[in-house]
Structure 1
């Protein structure tokens, strides 16, 4: 039996997500907190029994990502999934970089939310695919940047990846699970795991999220475009 804690200051949302979890994940034990301090108090009392904490970044005493940092410092071994109304891609990646094991927008349909929780409870990281597949916003160019010569031949960490590994990395960046990647690329799930291990080794990172952060998304998209068959 898994024990989940929902830390959110809106009673109606806690009630709604609690009903969804009880219906979709039968046997789960659900704890509730209406503030970060309340969550930390509950964790201190039952830390060994809590398998996953669902944290709303909008808690009055959480101060956004600072609340996540505080929680990770206090309970580094406790898996945390961020649940937020915010859908900014950079915020999602920052949350994961700070140690969250998933990010679920509050607008996520019930079925997708339950699948995300199953994925996280199964030891994987969840990223919302509809947001992650969007190209990141192009940063504004520095006003003097045209004075600096371009460096088209600068080495890229993606140079070491094979075509198939590039395809796998792109799907990791969309938040897809191994099973989905295997189906889309028509390969075995064990082969996906082999590719992921190779990607981590070649990019010199220790996790999927670090691989996503290490990859230049524009460079990755350009390389994938070149892999597409021409008519």
Structure 2
């Protein structure tokens, strides 16, 4: 049976490189390509028997992790691996929570990528990051939600309303975020959280 792999990547040069790597790792594979989110959805509609999706999250037609969310909501059983420069522990954790079946940093070597694609098709979850996990900050979904509201510049009362929690609880979350990110104020927390990949605009 011939495998079908869909590469969703807006940079033609990188898309060509990925296609060659996939063909080297998995000879005989039919490689489908999409340069934006609308094309990606069309390809999947035309080829419901696709075996694997390789997704760059920064493509036209999506914001943040919305594309990943939508694809996994519409095709929950389809293996999807993010191949991206967004290589932060926090971002990768969010991708996995949203249903990604793996992550491969774009900075990975050719040999590492080939091994990764082979392992993925053998059913393994593959996470290849260039970051040191020892530097990671771990946040709960509620803390991440609070962080996203802080990034919108909302006051505690409004955050409490948006998240349907008590203002005192928001104060607790904000204090905890200040401590975890080792920051003096909310603006610093938002800036650091963006740098570390907790907030993907």
State the TM-score bracket (shorter-chain normalisation): 0.5 to 0.7
Could you tell me how far apart the structure 1 residues matched to 2:113 and 2:82 are?
A: 12
The CA RMSD over aligned residues, in Å, is 1.7
Partner of 1:177: none
Give, in angstroms, the shift of residue 131 of structure 1.
Answer: 2.8
Structure 2's unaligned 5+ residue stretches are: 139-176, 181-201
| 1:88 equivalenced with 2:88 (yes/no) | yes
Q: Displacement of 1:23 after TM fit? A: 2.3
Distance across 1 between alignment mates of 2:106 and 2:113: 9
What corresponds to 1:141 in structure 2? 179
Q: How many residues align?
A: 141
**Offset, 1:133:** 3.7
**Pairs within 5 Å for 1:6-21:** 6-21=7-22
- Matched with 1:23 is 24
Offset at 1:19? 1.3
Partner of 1:5: 6
1:37-56 equivalences in 2 (<5 Å): 37-48=38-49, 50-56=50-56
Which has the bigger relative contact order, CA under 8 A and spacing at least 6? Answer: 2
1:122 CA displacement: 1.0
Give unmatched runs, 5+ long, in structure 1. 143-231
TM-score by length of 2: 0.65
1:93-128 Cα shifts (integer Å, max 9, x gaps): 110111010111111111111111111111111111
C-alpha contact (below 8 Å) 2:87/2:129 kept by paired residues: no
Hey, which bits of structure 1, 4+ residues long, moved more than 3 A?
A: 132-135, 137-140
Q: Deviations over 1:130-163 (max 9, x none)?
A: 4364331486417xxxxxxxxxxxxxxxxxxxxx
Provide the TM-score with structure 1 as the length reference. Answer: 0.57
For residues 68-108 of structure 1, the C-alpha deviation after alignment (integer angstroms, 9 at most, x for no partner) is 00111121121111111111111001101110101111111
Residue matched to 1:100: 100
CA separation in 1, counterparts of 2:65 and 2:100? 10
SS of the residue corresponding to residue 20 of structure 1 reads helix
Q: Which residue of 2 aligns with 1:204?
A: none
